[in-house]
Structure 1
Amino acid sequence: MKKSVLAVRVFAVSALALSMAACSSLPKKAQTPIAMPNIDMDSQFEILDKDTVSTAEAPSVAVVRWQDFYTDPKLQALIELGLKNNKDLQSAVLAVQRARAQYQITDANTLPSVGVGGGATRSQTPADRNSSSGYNVNLAMSSYELDLWGKVASAKQAALYDYLGTNAARDAVQISLISSIAQGYVNLSYAMAQRQLALETLKTREHSLAITQKRYQAGIDARSSSLQAEASLESAKLSVYNADTSILQYRNALQLLLGAPIPTELVPDLAVDNITSQTLFSTGLPSELLYYRPDIVQAEYALKSAGANINVARAAYFPSISLAGNLGYSSSSLSNLLQSSAFGWSFGPSVNLPIFDAGLRRANYEVAQVAQQSALTAYEKAIQTAFKEVGDVLATRATLNQQLESQYKLQDNFQQTYRIAHARFRAGLDDYLNVLDAERSLFANQQSILALEQQKVVSQIQLYQTLGGGASLSAEQITEFNRQREAMRTAALTQVSADAAANATNTTESGVQITQPAPSETQP
């Protein structure tokens, strides 16, 4: 008994000596990096349109579930189809499952491994012609490392942050997918509206050509009027062909996102406009991006994981202390194997500390430090990119209403110009060229109105996306809600230390008043 106590004391003194020797060359603990992008987090977004607000009282529209944000039943069904069949999202989900399994593996390494074993041997030496046998059965604990320096816990923590980061990456894929499906739906709808407008214009141009040809044959007008009418007709045909191409391309793009053909009953109506539940879009405060943007959350977890890996590299400077034990029976005779006299046990610790490694541990530590600085840079870049994307959408929305107002005024002007040109033509004061010019100007204006209405609806989708709307908040994020809200207020998300981390995640129906000039009733 005294010998056992003495052995333990000798072991403890030896371990202490080795630890002190390791600490003498241990690098200083790295300073916790603070991510402070050169962006004002406390002020409101710069809003220039009347349909968007940014106040502390109104939360970000990102809090609205996509099922509640998008109210068009066809679009909702298409999104559901895409979430079920899209291959990119499926890959992201598999990545999450893989990261979860890896974390479970790391977690299992924090516990000792115990197993039952047994064996039989038969041996003979040259000097002894008689062979001997040996039998054993035991319950053994493999070498279990005591985590005195936090190495195993830090590795587990890094694996946890990798899993959470992968989960955030899946949310980013889902947000992008939902937004792309919604934009594809709107693009297809307005391509169909452009085609309808081109077809109506084509009919008008065909009627105009018939009039000019009869007037030329009657000797009333010069050949130039007929030539001009023919050119206008071909131009209208080109518009139809271009619209057909766009429709096919948008269909293909949407089908790729859905991972399945577009059901006939889910083809959008012409020029959809009211696809969201929002009439006033709230951006919230800039700091809220830190919580709702999954790419920022992913970058944050990568920063934390890098910090945990530094702790792993740092712990390599300390001695590795392991325990191993064995409990069982051993006998030279199988019949006597389970007798009490064959029972035995063994238990003992072991210490390992490389004395010379040619700078390997120092290099690993420096690699971990550089990885952390790289993660910090990526985190700050993610925040800056998020602000840029939101700013771009807000800039697009800033003058859309004014542009539409001007386009509608132009449409009224062109319609009056057409009526005057047509009246002067019927009175014999002008030739038909003025009528054709007025038709062309009106058609171009109507195309522009459709394009602006399309851009307005798409900007609503993009704003929801860039603010982080459309993700499924994970259990970890909900658990970490209070801590994240505090981080939004301070705008100083940091890589936490190992100790702190252990306690601490919308034609006419669209408002486009497009009217085609009535076919002329004038006879040559």
Structure 2
Amino acid sequence: MRLLLTLSLLGCLSACSMTPTLQRTAAPVPPSFPVAAATPASASPASALGWRTMFGDPRLRRLIDLALSNNRDLRLATLNVEAAQAQGNIQRAARLPAVGLEATRTRERSVSGDGHSQASREVSQQSGVNVALSAFELDLFGRVRALSDAAFNRYLASEHGRDAAQIALVGAVAEAYFAQRLAGEQLQLTERTLADWRQSLELARLLKQAEQSSSLDVAQAEAQVALAEADLEARRRALAQADNALQLLVGSELPSDLPAALPLQRQVVIAQLPAGLPADLLLSRPDLRQAEQLLVAANADIGAARAAFFPQISLTASFGYASTSLGSLFDPARRVWRFAPQISQPLFQGGRLRAELRLAEVRKTEAVAQYERAIQTAFREVADALAGTATFDRQMEAQLRAVTAAERRLQLSDLRYRAGVDGRLELLDAQRQLHAARQALLELRREEIANRVALYKSLGGGLHERDLAETAAVRAAQ
């Protein structure tokens, strides 16, 4: 037994690693973003900014809470973490000896004698108690350790994947909510516009009856009302589809006690984010950490594949007592032991081991490519959001001027029409222009908010409910 423990200890201490050193290349992106935004001196990283601070709408906060509790995709990501953790525990257990207690009792009847004499029958029994070590592999070349490391890194990758799924969910709920608000406000605008145009149609019909206008004016007004009615149905359909998309993300039916929604123009979404930072900031994003851990796991698989070319040494041993009588089972004279070391060396397997090594190397190369692509994708997401931040404010100002000008034109066209200077066609065109300008303003406001959400998400925000500084202060006070 001492020999067994000594060999096990030496095997664990002398294990070497066949895993190659992982060389991390420079990120395949520029060192800084192409568009730099001004960063307040007191700003914290976006990843430290809680989503409750980012989004000021109480209704949106409640919806995000519900989504984090009920969303099926996030639940699957959490279950994947638990499965990866269990798999890692299984692989880690393989690095330790498996010891079991065995108790046996057998009864056997045997027949002795030949065909010329009377056969004799004997009944024998045997009892035994053993502590057994079953096929424990001495990991001299690091195969078992490499498999354990790969499983652990995949568990870490699943945790980062779950974090990335949460960030994506928070961003998706916010985007779907603002899309729903846009659809609702566009529907309200269309309803108000349709009511105004129906009044204009009634006025045109009255003027026609008084022989102060022609049938052409009535036909033009009827066509404009018909177009508005068609647009109204399209807006209703868009609102219903936006409701369905939001409900799917939340994972349950929307409760009736939600706080009142804020209009798009009053939405409180933090605009100033710390965007003027180097591109290395992206490496803290959970999806990039996930890709990195998968790369480390693929590298460990190469070590396991290399170690498979070398001998595998395993130990099987048992120590206990055996006796034909239960009363004398634990008599020192009945002590028995068995020690059976085994060594196996692959000689010919038809190229299977080389193919497995080649497969592990190819998968590592794939993991490198996926890691670099994830970095490039993250860089583009931030760069696109920064480009939007740099242009949306000026575009909003220009669109507001366009709405103001369209309102002024409609007022003047209406006065000229009532004075008989212009025809009704000019008035209808002014009404359509104002309606289109207002719809475009709503759409632009929603895009501006969505761009802020995209920047927040692309910089790693949305993982925490509260600001990290606020959370740390609360914990310190406790």
Normalising by structure 2, report the TM-score. 0.87
Deviation per residue, 1:287-310 (Å, 9 max, x gap): 11111x222111101100011111
- The equivalent residue for 2:468 is none
- Corresponding letter in the other structure for 2:91: T
What is the one-letter code of the residue matched to 1:287? D
Among 264, 283, 287, the alignment partner of 2:280 is 287
Counterpart for residue 505 of structure 1: none
Whether 1:417 and 2:403 are equivalent positions in the alignment is: no
Please state how far the C-alpha of 1:270 moved relative to its aligned partner.
Answer: 5.6
Alignment partner of 1:367 out of 359, 368, 390: 359
> Bigger shift: 327-336 or 312-321?
327-336
User: Does the 8 A contact of 1:171 with 1:472 survive in 2?
Assistant: no
In the other structure, the counterpart of 2:348 is 356
Q: 2:217 aligns with which of 215, 225, 248?
A: 225
Q: Do 2:67 and 2:250's aligned partners in 1 also have CA atoms closer than 8 Å?
A: yes
Deviation at 1:433, TM superposition (A): 2.2
State the shift of 1:454 in Å.
0.9
1:175-324 equivalence runs, <5 A: 175-266=167-258, 269=261, 271-276=263-268, 278-283=270-275, 284-291=277-284, 293-324=285-316
Contact 2:67/2:251 (CA < 8 Å) preserved in 1? yes
Corresponding residue number in structure 2 for 1:396? 388
What SS does the aligned partner of 1:328 have?
A: strand
Which of 110, 119, 122 is equivalent to 1:124? 110
In 2, Cα distance between the equivalents of 1:102 and 1:53?
46
Scaled by the length of structure 1, what TM-score is found? 0.80
Preserved CA contact (<8 Å) 1:193 1:270: no
Aligned: 1:78 with 2:63: yes
3-state SS of 1:112 partner: coil
Q: CA RMSD, aligned part only?
A: 2.9
| In 1: Cα distance, 2:250 partner to 2:91 partner | 36
Deviations 1:123-168 (A, max 9, x none): 5255474343322111112121112222221111111101011111
1:104 partner letter: N
Q: Percent identity?
A: 35
Secondary structure of 2:317 counterpart: strand
C-alpha displacement of 1:459: 1.0
The aligned residue for residue 90 of structure 1 is 75
Task: Flag the 1:380–1:54 CA change in 2: closer, same or farther, 3 A.
Answer: farther
Matched letter for residue 36 of structure 1: A
Query: Matches of 1:466 and 1:194 in 2, distance apart?
Result: 28
Equivalence for 2:420: 428
Is the 8 Å Cα contact of residues 110 and 121 (structure 2) preserved in structure 1? Answer: yes
In 1: Cα distance, 2:268 partner to 2:155 partner: 33
User: Alignment partner of 1:170: what SS?
Assistant: helix
In structure 1, how many angstroms separate the alpha carbons of the residues matched to 2:436 and 2:265? 21
Structure 1, 384-393 or 274-283: larger mean CA deviation: 274-283
The secondary structure found in structure 1 opposite 2:447 is helix
Deviation by residue 1:387-424 (Cα, 9 ceiling, x = unmatched): 12222222333322222212111122222222221222
The CA distance in 2 between the partners of 1:107 and 1:321, in whole Å, is: 18
How do 1:101-140 and structure 2 match up within 5 A?
Answer: 101-121=86-106, 122-124=108-110, 126-127=112-113, 129-140=121-132
1:190·1:454 contact (CA, 8 Å) conserved in 2? yes
User: Which whole-Å deviations, capped at 9, do the CAs of 1:268-296 have from their partners, x for residues lacking one?
Assistant: 636334545523122232111111x2221
Question: Which letter maps to 1:322?
Answer: S
Count of paired positions: 451
Is 1:146 aligned with 2:138? yes
User: Structure 2 CA distance, aligned partners of 1:228 and 1:453?
Assistant: 32
Counterpart contact for 1:36–1:380, Cα < 8 Å? no
Q: Aligned partners of 1:360, 1:384: CA distance in 2, in Å?
A: 36
Q: Distance in 2 between matches of 1:274 and 1:160?
A: 47
Q: In 1, Cα distance between the equivalents of 2:41 and 2:28?
A: 21
What pairs up with 1:22-37 in 2 under 5 angstroms? 30=20, 32-37=22-27
- Give the secondary structure class of the aligned counterpart of 2:132: strand
Q: 1-side partners of 2:269 and 2:234: how far apart?
A: 32
